[in-house]
Amino acid sequence: MRETPRLFNRDKEVERHRRLIERVHSPRLQMALIAALTGASGLLASYVLRIAGLSSMAVRYPLAVAIAYAAFLFFLWCWLRWGDGNGDAEDFDVVDAATEVSYGNSSSASPVADVSDGGGVDLDVGDGEGAIIGVVIVAGIALLTALFAVFSIVSMAPVLFAELLVDAALAGGLYRHVRGIDRGRHWLTTAIARTGWRFGAVAVVAAAAGWLIARAVPGADSIGALLH
């Protein structure tokens, strides 16, 4: 007798993969390493762009963040490739899991960051002490924004990795014995939806910081020049 295809439930499959990842890997440590490599890529990109003649910090800093984000997505792709080759075959056999587990129609809500718009700060950039205070404030905001992006991505690493694995499996056609699947979703779409706004916030604040520093210290083209 032919077996009836199981009803696929993405949220439950993501949760199953999250538990498996936390058992056989160290997802937050791995994401911290990816974040460190991403930050190094951004710093290197800013340095190369400066050497190439892009002196405007208001342009160079957000461009460096964009390059760092491209590197971040590349590192996620590397993680997926590494996971396919080095993961526990028994634990990550999505075909067997899909045929052995019958899913219901209930779904668990995915955690979504709640972002509220803060009020704008009007900084009067001028000579002397007011300019220095303004630069310190914006530099502090830029640093806090970057730290928030890093810690929030590291904290959500188990869920994010699980979602990427499930979406990669869907795109690869590994769930052959289940129904109710949207196979058009790509892991890159999920990665950008989960992390893109964080890097976007860092880019915006970095551009504002670069603009303010250039106004406060005419001729400065880097943080090092500002410190001098």
State pLDDT tens for residues 52-65. Answer: 999 999 999 999 99
Mean of all residue pLDDT scores within the chain: 76
154 compared with 83, residue with greater pLDDT: 154
Chain-centroid distance, C-alpha 30: 13
Chain-centroid distance, C-alpha 192: 7
Percentage of the chain modeled with pLDDT above 70: 65
186 compared with 39, residue with greater pLDDT: 39
Q: Is the pTM of this model over 0.75?
A: no
Helix (H, G, I), strand (E, B) or coil at 103: coil
Residue partners of 51: CB distance under 8 A and separation at least 6: none
In one letter, which amino acid is 67? I
Asked whether residue 90 carries a pLDDT value surpassing 70, the answer given is no
Distance CA 226, CA 216 (A): 9
Distance CA 223, CA 217 (A): 10
Helix (H, G, I), strand (E, B) or coil at 6: strand
Write down how long the chain is.
228
Q: What is the pLDDT of residue 145?
A: 92
Q: What is the pLDDT of residue 29?
A: 96
Binned at pLDDT 50, 70 and 90, residue 123 comes out as very low
What is the DSSP-derived secondary structure letter of residue 88? -
Between 25-39, 194-208, 212-226, the lowest mean confidence (pLDDT) is in 212-226
User: What's the whole-number mean pLDDT along residues 6-18?
Assistant: 78
Binned at pLDDT 50, 70 and 90, residue 130 comes out as low
